[in-house]
């Protein structure tokens, strides 16, 4: 897609980045000790921490990924919102206060508080690193997606900018700076998402959402024995036809330009699709022409609106509930994606969809036979919902935020502030996603840009601010993840596991060096994973966290017989099974350039297998190593604390 670059947008963006850097410089002067670097010395107010929680959590996955997923696949994207928020219930009710009581700087500290075990230090630091890196990938991908329309730069440049700025932030100031960046960003994201939602409701549904509709053609096909053999339009000549997933795609030539069409299932018409072809010399052709010809359109339109049984052109302003009723009685065009490998072509074809289907599950996650569900697709749905529910309270970069407040009560109160802020935002995602689906703003190349491009539709000023906030979102979340990762390497592994006996200054230096290394690694991964939906990628991070960390935390808190070896075995099992199954999943096979159907594991979300396996391993190994429990250095168990 080609975007016009706005000077205003660039200036606002630069202002945000400079402001974030200035804040980091300011707090850098105060960061002298390890307690300050890793945990802001435990002095943050619960309200600030609660909104900073929201800032951490409402990452690129939430604003960019969920809005994009709702825009392209309707209610199924909102399932991520429901699951992500439900995860906070587990964090509040099970984890917040005990974790605050047990830990010092990192999640590993809390797990190891009862045992002082080398195996826990090693496995928990590995787990923190693996989960954080899985979470980092989508943030970096999102950053790259953002700079394309905002600054007109290539995707990889965005990834490098974010990586460099964040390495600078983390390497200078640590947790205090990260907290205030997250606080400001979290608050701004919620405020401006509310403003965007008000715009959407005030605008209502319309058949002509402004600007020119895409100039896509409809041509009558000549069909013989069910096969397309030609077209009735003299301008075009038939070139080739392909059957993919029971659908017919036809390549036509006109004036030396090749365009792609899909045969309508109801009649013998060919509807023009959007296509991207990689020519033999590497040139990218958009709808058969170079990018500069601007023949690659933004899409997503309502085609029919019924109000009280009467067809209308627009609804006028709608309320927060009437918008769903209006949409339920409408028809719209979504775009679905297929690849024709023989032609090196990706096609996005028109998929007429009822508004009713958009506000019900099933367009993306196949859960009913009506949508082609089978046993594995249903299990994939359960697996995703399970991982989202249990994953939040096992994310190391979220858990370390409990060490930044002064008391257990503050840990609890900050979690409640977070639930209210995050919950409110997730309700807004439904409106922003649907708004993007119906206002002709979708970029089929990147579902992640639905939210910012919707803002652009309502004005460049709003787009600039929303994009800058989204960019700051990525900056803040990546900063938090890198702090967690550097803590795992420098504090858990070097200082505690290898017992390097570093003084406070060396600990901070080691943390900064670790932050630098993880940052560089994140930049490389962000470039490699370009094009994937960031919320989907974060869902995978949740699966890994829920599998490797959640059983360890909960059993440590609620089962007296838990042993150090049980925890270590559980973490290793959780990491290896979840990461292993993800690498064998259909989505990853597509990434390797192989057919998704050839993937040995038929699901994308492994939690339904890896979480129970991790639990079983913890219980079995703990029961086998009960004599180790006599070596506990200090009993922090809840049952003893009353």
**Which residues, other chains included, contact 402 with Cβ-Cβ below 8 Å and sequence gap of 6+?**
96, 99, 100, 103, 411, 414
Nearest approach, Cβ of 225 to another protein (angstroms)?
37
From the list 631, 548, 637, the residue with the least C-alpha distance to 115 is 631
Among 262, 412, 507, 512, binds another protein (CB under 8 A): 412
Among 26, 238, 324, 335, binds another protein (CB under 8 A): 324
Q: Per CB under 8 A, does 507 bind another protein? A: no
Q: Per CB under 8 A, does 416 bind another protein? A: yes
The Cα 447–Cα 68 span in angstroms is: 5
The Cα 331–Cα 334 span in angstroms is: 10
Q: Per CB under 8 A, does 403 bind another protein? A: yes
The Cα 46–Cα 273 span in angstroms is: 51
Q: Per CB under 8 A, does 39 bind another protein? A: yes
Q: Per CB under 8 A, does 409 bind another protein? A: yes
Among 13, 105, 286, 463, binds another protein (CB under 8 A): 105
Among 1, 23, 27, 109, binds another protein (CB under 8 A): 109
The Cα 458–Cα 432 span in angstroms is: 12
From the list 473, 478, 591, the residue with the least C-alpha distance to 133 is 478
Q: Per CB under 8 A, does 94 bind another protein? A: yes
For another protein, the closer CB: 21 or 94: 94
The Cα 388–Cα 218 span in angstroms is: 42
Q: In 487-593, which ranges are continuous DSSP H helix?
A: 504-528, 534-548, 550-558, 564-583, 586-591
**Which residues, other chains included, contact 605 with Cβ-Cβ below 8 Å and sequence gap of 6+?**
380, 383, 384, 387, 539, 540, 543
Nearest approach, Cβ of 94 to another protein (angstroms)?
6
Q: Per CB under 8 A, does 559 bind another protein? A: no
Q: Per CB under 8 A, does 102 bind another protein? A: yes
For another protein, the closer CB: 57 or 389: 389
Residues β-bridged to residue 347: 275, 338
Q: Per CB under 8 A, does 632 bind another protein? A: no
How far CA 614 is from CA of 348, 382, 565, 568, 585, in Å, comes to 40, 17, 13, 10, 19
Among 271, 328, 339, 590, binds another protein (CB under 8 A): 328
Among 65, 77, 103, 174, binds another protein (CB under 8 A): 103
Binding to another protein, residues 182-241 (CB under 8 A): none
Q: Per CB under 8 A, does 431 bind another protein? A: no
Nearest approach, Cβ of 192 to another protein (angstroms)?
20
Contact criterion met (CB below 8 Å) for 482 and 29: no
Q: Per CB under 8 A, does 309 bind another protein? A: no
The Cα 513–Cα 520 span in angstroms is: 11
Q: Per CB under 8 A, does 88 bind another protein? A: yes
Binding to another protein, residues 330-359 (CB under 8 A): 356, 359
Nearest approach, Cβ of 93 to another protein (angstroms)?
4
For another protein, the closer CB: 6 or 197: 197
3-state secondary structure of 363: coil
Q: Per CB under 8 A, does 174 bind another protein? A: no
Nearest approach, Cβ of 273 to another protein (angstroms)?
29
Binding to another protein, residues 354-393 (CB under 8 A): 356, 359-362, 367-368, 370, 378, 381-382, 385, 389
């Amino acid at each position: 897609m080609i975007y016009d670059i706005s000077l205003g947008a660039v200036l606002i963006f630069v202002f945000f980045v400079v402001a974030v850097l200035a804040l980091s410089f300011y707090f850098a002067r105060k960061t002298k000790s390890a307690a300050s670097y890793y945990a802001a010395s435990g002095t943050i107010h619960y309200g600030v921490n609660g909104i900073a929680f929201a800032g951490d959590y409402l990452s690129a996955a939430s604003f960019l990924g969920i809005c994009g997923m709702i825009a392209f696949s309707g209610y199924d994207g909102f399932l991520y919102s429901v699951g992500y928020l439900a995860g906070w219930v587990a964090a509040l009710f099970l984890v917040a206060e005990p974790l605050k009581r047990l830990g010092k700087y990192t999640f590993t500290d809390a797990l190891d508080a009862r045992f002082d075990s080398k195996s826990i230090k090693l496995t928990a630091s590995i787990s923190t690193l693996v989960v954080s890196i899985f979470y980092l990938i989508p943030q970096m991908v999102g950053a790259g997606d953002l700079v394309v329309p905002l600054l007109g730069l290539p995707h990889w440049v965005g990834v490098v900018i974010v990586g460099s700025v964040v390495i600078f932030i983390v390497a200078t100031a640590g947790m205090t700076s990260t907290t205030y960046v997250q606080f400001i960003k979290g608050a701004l994201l919620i405020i401006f998402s509310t403003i965007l939602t008000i715009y959407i409701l005030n605008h209502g549904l319309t058949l002509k959402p402004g600007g020119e509709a895409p100039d896509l053609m409809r041509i009558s096909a000549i069909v013989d024995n069910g096969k397309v053999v030609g077209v009735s339009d003299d301008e075009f000549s038939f070139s080739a036809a392909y059957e993919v997933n029971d659908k017919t795609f036809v390549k036509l030539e006109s004036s030396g330009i090749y365009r792609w069409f899909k045969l309508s299932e109801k009649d013998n018409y060919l509807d023009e699709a959007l296509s991207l072809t990689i020519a033999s010399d590497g040139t990218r052709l958009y709808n058969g022409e170079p990018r500069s010809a601007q023949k690659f359109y933004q899409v997503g339109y309502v085609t029919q609106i019924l109000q009280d049984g009467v067809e209308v052109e627009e609804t006028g302003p709608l309320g927060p509930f009437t918008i769903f009723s209006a949409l339920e009685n409408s028809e719209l065009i979504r775009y679905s994606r297929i690849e024709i490998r023989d032609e090196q072509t990706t096609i996005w074809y028109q998929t007429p969809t009822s508004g009713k289907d958009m506000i019900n599950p099933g367009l993306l996650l196949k859960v009913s036979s009506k949508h082609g569900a089978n046993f594995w697709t249903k299990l994939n749905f359960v697996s995703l919902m399970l991982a989202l529910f249990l994953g939040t309270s096992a994310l190391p970069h979220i858990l370390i935020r409990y060490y930044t407040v002064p008391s257990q009560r503050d840990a609890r109160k900050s979690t409640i502030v977070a639930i209210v802020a995050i919950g409110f935002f997730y309700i807004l995602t439904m409106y922003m996603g649907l708004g993007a689906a119906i206002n002709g703003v979708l970029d089929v190349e990147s579902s992640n840009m639905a939210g910012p491009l919707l803002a652009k539709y309502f004005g460049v000023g709003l787009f600039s601010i929303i994009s800058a906030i989204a960019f700051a979102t990525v900056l803040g979340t990546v900063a938090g993840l890198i702090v967690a990762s550097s803590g795992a390497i420098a504090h858990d592994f070097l200082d505690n596991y290898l017992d390097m006996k570093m003084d406070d200054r060396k600990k901070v230096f080691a943390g900064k060096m670790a932050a630098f290394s993880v940052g560089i690694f994140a930049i490389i991964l962000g470039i490699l994973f370009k094009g994937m939906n960031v919320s989907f990628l974060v869902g995978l991070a949740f699966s890994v966290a829920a599998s490797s960390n959640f059983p360890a935390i909960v059993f440590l808190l609620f089962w007296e017989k838990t042993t150090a070896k049980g925890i270590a075995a559980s973490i290793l099992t959780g990491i290896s099974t979840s990461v292993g199954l993800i690498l064998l999943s259909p989505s990853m096979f597509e990434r390797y350039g192989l057919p998704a159907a050839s993937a040995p594991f038929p699901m994308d979300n492994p939690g339904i297998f890896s979480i129970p396996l991790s639990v079983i391993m913890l219980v079995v190994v703990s029961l086998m190593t009960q004599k180790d429990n006599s070596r506990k250095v200090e009993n922090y168990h809840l049952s003893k604390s009353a």
